[in-house]
Chain A
Amino acid sequence: MKPIVSCRGITKVFGKGELAVHALRGIDLDIMEGDFATLAGPSGSGKTTLLNMVGALDHPTAGEVAIDGQPLSGMSKSALSDLRLNKIGFIFQAYNLVPVLSARENVEFVLRLLRVEPAERRRRADEALAEVGLQGMEGRRPSALSGGQQQRVAIARALVARPRIVLADEPTANLDSTTTKELVDLMYRLNQESGITFLIGTHDPRVMEHSKRHIEMNDGQIESDTRG
């Protein structure tokens, strides 16, 4: 089986000389189709930095990231934008949604960038929102939704364009335990039923409970990578 994401010898250094921070120190990692992987580790261990590399948001200092077998180095910013649009769904910790757009418009946004026809766009957005349990709230702005509901919209948006992989960085950080459980169950169900690949950076044990694969980072390196 070919990996969706493959990282070879990734290092990332912020700053120069005395002040240089080695955020990643040689990461080799393959994310396989259907993985529901959690990425854990102490604060500052490099989880977010690694997700940035995998999500084509930032360039590694050295090493190579490939998505679907396509190496990212040498791609233009515009091509990277297109790649994110087509292959990667993102769920961030907070302020995930565009505040001036309704739930439906937030989900539709990605489809608009992909130039999907209006009717089709709307159908798929409403379908995705229904999938995450937000039927009847399509017209609400983010400010009129709870934190959990906002993250559901973010999940719907991450999924609506059928990406190859969904990257989430601390998606439950601001949520209470009931909401966290609901959200994790939702992502897990989507992974089980639709085979969507997830890579989730998290501190939260309730998220890790479900993981089929657990990656532990420390000081910019992968300490353990266990399936179970």
Chain B
Amino acid sequence: METFKLLAPLAWRNLWRNPRRTIITLFVVSVGLWSILAVASFISAWAQSSRDATLRLLIAQGQIHAVGYMDDPNISNLMPPPDEALVAALDTSGISNWVARLELPGVVQSEYKTLPVSLVGVDPEAERRISSIPSKIVEGRYLDGPEDDSAVIGLNLAKRLKTALGRRVILMVTAEDGWLEERSFDVVGIYDADTAFEDTYIFTGRRPMQAMVGVGDKIAQIAFEVPEDAALAGVVERLRAAAPTLDVREWRKISLIMGAMDATMGGVVFIWMAVMMVMISIGVINTQLMAVFERTHEFGLLRALGFKSRHVLLLVTFESVLLIGLGVLIGMIAGAATVWGLSDGIDLSAFGKALEAFKAGDTLYLEVNPIDYIIFPLAIWALGVVVALWPAYRAQKISPVEAMRQAT
């Protein structure tokens, strides 16, 4: 304690002997941390936004299927409509919206082309609440009601089929009896999502589709939405309890690619952090080594006066702790200020098409993630102090004989 009281003011004053150098180091540390925090916020906002946008198309946050449907989505793997217990669970489990859909692989045919697709029979009212497709109609209209037997197709599929609004297409789907059932549909609407999605999904009313393939009131899936991703695991648990014979999954287990992306986003932040940490380390070692070599005579003097080598080590380490701590503090404030400054959202609509590939929404909402503000600053502080141990060690080895040496 006595040593601390002796060293702390000494360390603090030593820091400001060369204000220019101290400020440069503070700058390096704080900008480094600031950029890590900003990148972390941005990436996480981006990941979340792009994930939400994709899930909003069709997947939602989770789905219920008959066991086996996910491996082989054909007509023999359908499920009955939800029974009372399941409906009760869906209505009370903290789920904000849910829909029942029939979805089967099929083939679409125009005068020019035949292409494989997935035909989805929906309840349009419910879809409007859970899916973004109804709002992505660029020509014509979305489906009217569950009885609507017309078709809504994707922009790119329309182009490939060389069909258009008001024309008819023929859809072929394997029916319950094993025969290929075919029917013609009026194209009443064209939606604009990403190309791969547009090429895959054709929407029609659920009841006409059930009638077409002769499955009664059977469905392929129930998709559900929860307000908070954090609540998802609990919801899945409750649904499993309510429907033990069905396959309840969260989105990560439905779209494996998205699950993997979700997991790797953090990796980008860590790569950035590693780069910044190398920069900060070099900066800190550099300045602290300079600061030590400049003061060889002075450390000799302190040693001659009765300072132990341990005191010198502590003094220089203390200086680093203060210097880097101050830089970390500034970086944290700058990081939080940046995020709050941009909390109205970053408007990406200007980048429009260029960013479509990332499927993010038009506006990114940055958030201060408290964990980031604990882990990253501590990591940088610790790293800074650890690398500064090397200069401190050099200082500790300076002999008291240096005090006698004439020139400095």
Contact = CB atoms under 8 A, between A and B. Distances in A.
A213 to B, nearest CB: 21
Contacts of A92: 301, 304, 403-404
A1 interface: no
A72 to B, nearest CB: 13
A191 interface: no
B308 A78 contact: yes
Interface stretch (B10-18, B178-186, B237-245, B352-360): B10-18
Which range holds the interface residue count of chain A? 20 to 34
B189 to A, nearest CB: 77
Q: Identify whether the interface residues of B are mostly helix, strand, loop, or mixed.
A: helix
B305 interface: yes
Interface in A45-97: 48, 51-52, 55, 57-58, 77-78, 81-82, 84-85, 90, 92-96
Quick one: which of A99, A113, A170 has the most chain B CB within 10 A?
A113
Contacts of B306: 81-82, 84-85, 110, 113-114
B302 interface: yes
Contacts of A52: 401, 404
A170 B305 CA distance: 17
Interface in B79-110: none
B206 interface: no
A115 B401 CA distance: 25
A58 B399 CA distance: 8
B298 A95 contact: yes
Contacts of A51: 404
A55 B304 contact: yes
A170 B14 CA distance: 27
A92 B305 CA distance: 11
Interface of B: 2, 6, 10, 13-14, 17, 297-298, 301-310, 399-401, 403-404, 406, 408
Given A57-B399, A115-B2, 7 more contacts: A77-B308, A78-B310, A82-B306, A94-B406, A98-B301, A101-B10, A170-B406
26 contacts: A48-B404, A51-B404, A52-B404, A55-B304, A57-B304, A58-B401, A77-B308, A78-B308, A78-B310, A81-B303, A81-B306, A84-B304, A84-B305, A84-B306, A90-B304, A90-B305, A90-B403, A92-B403, A93-B406, A95-B408, A98-B298, A100-B14, A101-B10, A101-B13, A110-B305, A170-B406
